[in-house]
Amino acid sequence: MEKRMPRAIALDTHLAFLVLAVLFCAMGSFLAIEFLSRMHRARSSAKMNWLFVSAIMLGASIWASHVFAIKWLAGPLSSFNPSGEAIPLLAALGLVTAGFGLVVWKPQALAEAGGLLVAVGIVTTKSLVLVAGSAFVRFPLGFDNTAVSWLGTAALCVAALSMAVRTARWYTHAVSTFLLVAAIGYACFGIEAADFPSSTAAATNIGAFQTVLIIMSAVLGTALVAYNIENQSRREAIESLKNLSVIDSLTGLSNREALKAHILTLTRVTDPSTEMFSVLAFNLNRFRIINDVHGSEAGDFLLKTVAGRITAALGPNEAVFRVGGDEFYVVKAAIHRRADASTFATKLLDILAEPILWSATKLDISASIGISLFPSGSAKADDLMMQADLAMCRAKLKNVNEVVFFDAAVDRVKRDMNALAIDLRKAIDNEEFELHYQPQHSAQDRRLVGFEALVRWNHPMRGMVSPADFIPLAEKTGMITEIGAWVIREAALAAATWPESLKVAVNVSAIQIAGDDFPDIVLDAILRANIEPGRLELEITESGIIGDFRHAMAILNRLKGLGCTIAMDDFGTGYSSMATFKRFPFDKIKIDRAFIQDLATNIDSQAIVNATLALGKTLAIKVLAEGVEEESQLDILNDAGCNEVQGYFFGKPMPMAQVDLYLKASKDLIRDAADTGSNVVVLRKTV
Ligand code: C2E
Ligand code: CA
Ligand code: CA
Tell me the CA end-to-end span of the chain in Å, nearest whole number.
120
Q: Is the pLDDT of residue 275 over 80?
A: yes
What pLDDT is attached to residue 574? Answer: 64
Residue 288's contacts (CB-CB under 8 Å, 6 or more residues apart) are 325, 326, 428, 481, 482, 485
For the CA of 480, the closest atom of ligand 1 is 44
- Distance (angstroms) between ligand 1 centre and the Cα of 556 equals 22
Enumerate residues lining ligand 1, CB below 6 A.
438, 454-455, 466-468, 471, 484, 487, 507-509, 569-570, 593, 627, 629, 647-648, 653
Task: Indicate the top mutation candidate among 451, 454, 487 to test ligand 1's pocket, ranked by most ligand atoms within 8 A of CB.
Answer: 454
- Residue 199 pLDDT: 57
Instruction: Determine the Cα–Cα distance for residues 111 and 160; give it in Å rounded to an integer.
Output: 10
Mean pLDDT of 87-92: 91
Q: What is the DSSP string of 506-527?
A: EEE-HHHHHSTTHHHHHHHHHH
Give CA angle at 526 (523, 528), nearest 5°.
Answer: 105
What are the pLDDT digits (tens) for 582-618? 777 799 999 999 899 999 898 888 988 998 999 899 8
Q: Taking a C-beta distance cutoff of 8 angstroms, is the pair 457, 427 a contact? A: yes
237, 588, 666 from 447: Cα distances, Å: 72, 17, 8
Per residue in 608-653, pLDDT tens?
Answer: 899 899 989 988 899 999 999 999 999 999 999 999 999 999 999 9
Instruction: State which ligand 1 atom lies nearest to the alpha carbon of 508.
Output: 44
> What single-letter DSSP state applies at residue 547?
S
Predicted local confidence at residue 670, as pLDDT: 64
Model confidence at 91: pLDDT above 80: yes
User: Which pLDDT does position 491 carry in this prediction?
Assistant: 98
Does 412 have pLDDT greater than 50? yes
Give how far Cα 624 sits from Cα of 499, 596, 681, Å: 21, 11, 19
Could you tell me whether strands 369-374 and 403-405 are parallel, antiparallel, or unpaired per DSSP bridges?
parallel
d(CA 214, CA 420): 68
Closest atom, ligand 1, to C-alpha of 506: 41
Cβ distance 465 to 427 under 8 Å? no
Nearest CA to ligand 1 atom 3: 570
Q: Is the pLDDT of residue 356 over 60?
A: yes
Residues whose CB falls within 8 Å of the CB of residue 317, separated by 6 or more in sequence, listed in order: 277, 332, 333, 334, 335
Reference 78, options 200, 212, 187; nearest CA is 200
Q: How far is CA 133 from the centre of its chain?
A: 62
Determine if the pTM surpasses 0.95.
Answer: no
What pLDDT, on the 0 to 100 scale, is given for residue 97? Answer: 93
Q: Is 352 helix (H, G, I), strand (E, B) or coil?
A: helix
